[in-house]
Amino acid sequence: MIELARGSLSKMAVSLQAPVVQYSFRLDDTQVPVNPLIGQRLRLEYLGAIHCSHCGKRTKTSFSQGYCYPCMTKLAQCDVCIMAPEKCHYDAGTCREPSWGEQFCMTDHVVYLANSSGIKVGITRATQLPTRWLDQGASQALPIMRVATRQQSGLVEDVLRSQVPDRTNWRALLKGDAEVLDLPAIREQIFDACADGLRELQGRFGLQAIQPLPDAEVVQMKYPVEAYPKKIVSFNLDKDPVAEGTLLGIKGQYLIFDTGVINIRKYTAYQLAVLQ
């Protein structure tokens, strides 16, 4: 086989293009387009080393998708409030990195509905659309609210998830295309059911801080998948350093082989070789 690239792995670069989403491997400073490799034999080989995405030091284990343990315990981007934004403690003066929080958390966020393995609610920085949807493998998405901070987006999401889940079923995602949903209709149903909770948040933070997006349009996404697996089997590079097979497609951050699937983002900071 011919080596295409090697280096420290990052999540795949992704862009929304017609007719299908486009992907590239990122290994250090090298990018390798992945779409042209569909239908061909591909081998991913873990080279036995992990280097922290932040400090570059070698670590035996990857924490929070690509960090060493010391960085995981001190960086704001690894704090509990990243996964649970409603737990933001910036105002309490205990943010791990206030300047980081000001740049990434004290900025406009979007609350959205997405259809990947079914309907879900999610949040992301306004600048991260549509990348966030593509990373999740959503086939449809609809922005429904724009809020002033990450914490506020988490509080809105907390209200809305009483009506709709906030997680993707990754196995269902990789079994086939999701059924097309009427996202604007679902939005209105959720808003009606959550009206009291949303009004309470608007009263707390102000109408300008939490704004519905009634004119937003549904975004459609199509992924380069030739065939979905009949049975979902995951590669685990920590147990077996090689993932190899005929590449059948790409969805979210997953590569779909005829021999199994692998979540590329899970192996951020792993030293990897890609061979064809």
Query: What was the pLDDT predicted at 250?
Result: 98
Residue 74 — pLDDT band, cuts 50, 70, 90? very high
Across the chain, mean pLDDT equals 97
Q: What is the mean pLDDT of residues 212-241?
A: 97
pLDDT digits (tens, 9 = 90+) for 39-67: 999 999 999 999 999 999 999 999 999 99
CA separation for the pair 175, 185 (Å, rounded): 26
Query: What was the pLDDT predicted at 165?
Result: 94
Q: Give the whole-number percent of the chain exceeding pLDDT 70.
A: 100
CA separation for the pair 232, 260 (Å, rounded): 7
Q: Which two tokens stand for residue 191?
A: 């808003």
Residues in the chain: 276
Instruction: Kindly list the domain boundaries of the chain, sorted by start residue.
Output: 3-53+223-275, 108-220
Query: What was the pLDDT predicted at 19?
Result: 93
- Tokens 């990897």 belong to residue: 272
- Cβ-proximal residues to 159 (8 Å cutoff; 6+ apart), any chain: 194, 197, 198, 201
SS3 content of the chain, % helix, strand, coil (to 5): 30, 30, 40
Query: What was the pLDDT predicted at 132?
Result: 97
Give the Cα-Cα-Cα angle 59, 266, 156 (nearest 5 degrees): 115
Residue 216's φ and ψ, nearest 5 degrees, are -65, 145
Query: What was the pLDDT predicted at 113?
Result: 98
- Cβ-proximal residues to 113 (8 Å cutoff; 6+ apart), any chain: 119, 120, 121, 122, 141, 142, 144, 164, 183, 186, 187, 190
